[in-house]
Chain A
Amino acid sequence: MTTVSREKKRGWFKEEFGNPERRTAYYMVLPALLIILIIAFYPVLSSVWLSFHQATLTQTGSFNGLENYTELFKNSDFLDGLFNTVVFTVVSVFLEFIIGLGIALAINRAFRGRGLVRAAVLVPWAFPTVISAAMWRLMFQDQVGVINTIANNLGIISEPILSDRTLLLIATILVDVWKTTPFMALLLLAGLQTIPGDIYEAARVDGANVIQRFFQITMPLLKPTILVAVLFRTMDSYRAFDLFWVMSNRQLESLSTFVYKGVRISQLQFAEGNAAAVFIFVTAFLLALFFIYGLGMQTSTED
C-alpha cells in the first residue's frame, strides 16, 4: 500500500469495503444516511433554490436572481429583526459567558452541599423556553407583574415595560441570561474538571498568584470548552424564536419570527420569508466556520 497513489486509493477502498465487518457498518448507516438526505438535505437545497425564484405559496414562479434578497434588505421588519437578533445574541452570550464562568469556577471548588447547588443552578434551564417566556411576561406585566410594580415604585421606570420596545429587548435579554447561564456554567464546569490539579500545584510552587494562574493556566486549558460553549449559545440565540414570540407577544421581531410570519402567516411574503430562512442558515454556517477555523476550535478528539 505504499507504492503508487492509485494503489493507495484502491487500498483505501479495499480497506473500507473489502472488510466484511466494515461493509456491514456501511449497510447499517445507509438507511440513516438516506433519511438524512431526504428530510434534511433536500429541503435545504429546495429552499435555497426557491429563494432565487418569484415563489408564492402555491407555485414556484420565475427565476429572479437575487431580487428576494435585495427586497429583504429593504424590508424594515427584516432589518428590525436582524438588529434585535444581533444585539440579543451578542449581549446575552457575553453576559452568559461571564456569569457562567463565575458560577463554574465557584461550584468547581469542593464545599458542603456542592451537589445540591449544582443541581439547583440547572433549574431555570430545565424549564421549556415557552413556559419561562410566558411566566416572565406575566411578571413584567402591568397589573399583576411583580417586576413592573417594583420598578415603578422604586422609580426606575415609569412606563409599563411591555409597551416599550427597548425595555422589551432588554427584558428579553435578561430572561435569556437567566435561563441559559446554567447551561453555560455546566459546560464550562465540565471543562474545568478536565484540568489536572497538579498543574496548579506546580504553578503555585513556582510562585504564580491567583490572577496569573487564572490567565496562564485556566483560560488556555479551558479555551476548547469555551469555544464549544460560546458557539452553541451563539447559534441558539441567533435562531431564537420562542422567547421573542411569547415574551413580547409578537411585538419584537427576531430573524426567526420574521421567517415564520413570511412563510406561515403572510400570503405574499413567502419568497422573502424563504430568502430570510436561507440567510439565517448561511450566516449561522459562516459563524460556525469562523469559530472552527478563525478561532481554532477543535472539532474532534483525534490527534
Chain B
Amino acid sequence: MTEKQGQSPEKPSGRRINRKDFLKIGGAGLAGAALLGVAGCGGGGGSSGGSGQIIFSFGPDTSGSLKKLVDKFNKQNKGKYTVKYREMPADTGQYFDKVRTQFQAGGGDIDLIGGDVIWPAQFAANGWIADLSDRLSDSERSKFLEGPINSNTYQGKLYGIPWFTDAGMLYYRKDLLEKNGFKQPPKTWDELSQMSDKVQKAENLKYGFVFQGSQYEGGVVNGLEYINSYGGKVLDPKDESKVVIDSPESAKGLAQPRSFIQDQVAPLAVTNYTETESQTTFLNGDCVFCRNWPYMYALAADPKQSKIKTNQVGVAPLPAGSAGSVSGLGGWNFYINAASDSGKQDTAYEFVKFATAPEQQKFRALNGSFLPTLKELYKDKQILDAVPVIKLAGEALANTVPRPISPAYSDMSLKMAEEFNKEFKGDVSPQSAVKTLQKELQQIADQAS
C-alpha cells in the first residue's frame, strides 16, 4: 500500500486528496458523528408540534375502533386539538416498563396514557400522573362502576378515569349441566366441586374445572378472587400500608383451589395454565367449568377456535365463598402525565371526556366488545343484544374488587404469584402461604413508604 497507488496519473495537479488523507478525514468525521449521535440520544425527547397536539399511548388497536375514535375526535375539534395515537406493546408488563422508563427520564412526551388498572398507585406515589379529583364531580363519578373507580383511587384521590373494564367470570357447559339434571350454574365453590365431579364422570371428560394458576399476574388475580370470596384481604382498607393477609379467611380462601386440585376437580397442570391454556381446554370441550375473562365468549362462536358452540356455553358470576361472590377486576383507564404542561393536560382531559362519554363507550362495546365503565350502558338494549356476555355477566361486573392498591404493587404481585403458585401445587400449606406473604408483603409495604 504505497501512496503512489492512490494517485491517479491523469490528474497531476495534486489537488485530489490521497487515500490516507481521505481516511483521516473520514475517521475524524465518523468519530464526530458518533459523538453527536450519542449526545443526540440523551438530549432528545422534547415534544414538538402545535400547542393543541397531544400524544396518547395505548396497546395495539386490533379492533380498529380506537383509530376511528381518535379520528372522530380530531375531526370534531379541528383547528383546536389533535390527538396522536402512539402504539405500545400488547404485553401489559412491557408497556408498563416503557412508560415507567419515560417517567423516570423526566416525563417523556406522552401526555395521555391508556393504562392497566394496576398501575395508578405506583404512578401516583411517584408523582408521575396528575390528580384528577377536581375534574370529575361526585355526580359524574357516581355514573361509573364502583370497582374501576376504586382502582383509580389512591390515598383518597382520583388518578384515573375508567375507560373499559374486565371481570373474572365462570363459563360452564350449559348443555352438559342440563343433561345431568342441573338447571342452574353453581352458586358456591362447593356446589361447583360437586357438579363438576358428577358431570365430568358422567360425560367422561378429561377435566372438571380449569382456571389460571400459573406463576404470573393472572395467577394473582385468581388467588385473590378465592381469598376475597372468603372474606380475606391483602391490605387493611383503612390503612393501605398495613398488610392483613395472614387471617383464617385468607387461608380458607387459598385452600379452595388447592382442594379442587386434590379432589381432581381441577388438574394439577392448572398450576401452569394462563388464559390461553384454560381457553383451549374449555373450547376443546375437555372440561365442564372454566374461570376466564369476558373475551372468551366471542371465541366460542368461531369454529376455527372452538369445538363447542355458543349455545352450549353459559356464563355466570363466579361462585361464592363464605363472603359472597367476588370477581377480579381488570380493564384499562386513562392517566394524564403530570409532567405535561397544563394546556396539554386540559386537552388530554377533553379527549378523556369524549372517549368515556356514553356514545363512544357504546361504539367500542359494539365494535370490539369492550365492556363499558358507565352503569347506564348495562341497561342499553342494543348493547345487551349485540354483546350477550354483558347481559349474562352484568352481575359479575358489579362485584369486582381491584387488586391491592399499593405503590409497590409490582413487587407484591411477584411475591403473591410465587406463593399462590406454590400453594396451588401443594408445596406449602394455605396457612404457611399466608404467613409467608404477611411477612414479605409487609416488608415491601414498609420499604415503599
Contact = CB atoms under 8 A, between A and B. Distances in A.
Interface of A: 20-21, 24, 27-28, 30-31, 34-35, 38-39, 57-58, 77, 141-144, 159-160, 162-164, 249-251, 261, 264-269
Given A250-B215, A265-B410, A265-B414, A163 B30 contact: no
A250 B277 CA distance: 16
Interface centre among B122, B272, B425, B448 (most CB of A within 10 A): B272
B20 interface: yes
Contacts of A28: 23, 27
Interface pairs A-B: 8 shortest CB-CB: A142-B269, A31-B31, A160-B269, A162-B272, A27-B27, A251-B215, A163-B271, A31-B30
B122 A267 contact: yes
B23 A27 contact: yes
B272 A251 contact: yes
Nearest to B284: A143
A30 B214 contact: no
B240 to A, nearest CB: 15
B31 A268 contact: no
B184 to A, nearest CB: 29
A31 B448 contact: no
Interface centre among A31, A144, A250 (most CB of B within 10 A): A31
B30 A267 contact: no
A163 B421 CA distance: 9
A24 B216 contact: no
Given A27-B23, A251-B214, A268-B447, A163 B425 contact: yes
Contacts of A268: 408, 411, 444, 447-448
B250 to A, nearest CB: 21
A67 to B, nearest CB: 14
Nearest to A59: B104
Contacts of B111: none
A179 B121 CA distance: 43
Interface residues of B, number: 43
A249 B23 contact: no
Interface string B208-250: 0000001110000000000000000000000000000000000
B408 A267 contact: yes
B interface: dominant SS: helix
Contacts of A24: 20, 23-24, 27
A267 B23 contact: no
Given A249-B272, A261-B414, A267-B408, A57 B104 contact: yes
A154 B313 CA distance: 35
A34 to B, nearest CB: 6
Given A27-B27, A28-B23, 6 more contacts: A27-B23, A31-B34, A142-B267, A251-B421, A267-B408, A268-B408
A249 B27 contact: no
10 contacts: A24-B24, A24-B27, A28-B23, A30-B27, A143-B206, A160-B272, A163-B268, A249-B215, A264-B97, A267-B411
Interface string B258-301: 00000000011101101001001100101000000000000000
Contacts, number: 90
A269 B277 CA distance: 31
Interface in B404-418: 407-408, 410-411, 414, 418
Interface in B178-232: 206, 214-216
Contacts of A269: 411
Contacts of A34: 31, 34-35
Centre residue among B268, B281, B444 by max chain A CB count within 10 A:
B268
A266 B410 contact: yes
A163 B410 contact: no
Contacts of B286: 143
Contacts of B17: none
Nearest to B206: A143
B407 A30 contact: no
B93 interface: yes
B46 to A, nearest CB: 20
A31 B35 CA distance: 9
B444 A38 contact: no
B215 to A, nearest CB: 5
A268 B448 CA distance: 7
A38 B93 CA distance: 29
B444 A249 contact: no
A143 B281 contact: yes
B367 interface: no
B102 to A, nearest CB: 13
Given A30-B27, A163-B272, A249-B214, A143 B277 contact: yes
Nearest to B103: A58
Contact of A27 (B28, B100, B267): B28
Contacts of B35: 34
Contacts of B268: 159-160, 163
Contact of A265 (B38, B93, B104, B126): B93
Interface in B87-109: 93, 97, 100, 104
Contacts of B272: 141, 160, 162-163, 249, 251
A21 B448 CA distance: 59
A162 B93 CA distance: 23
Contact of A20 (B20, B27, B418): B20
Contacts of B411: 266-269
A216 B429 CA distance: 58
A267 B126 CA distance: 11
A266 B448 CA distance: 11
A162 B269 contact: yes
A21 B31 CA distance: 19
Nearest to A148: B269
Nearest to B443: A268
Nearest to A269: B411
B274 to A, nearest CB: 7
A142 B267 CA distance: 9
A143 B269 contact: yes
A58 B447 CA distance: 15
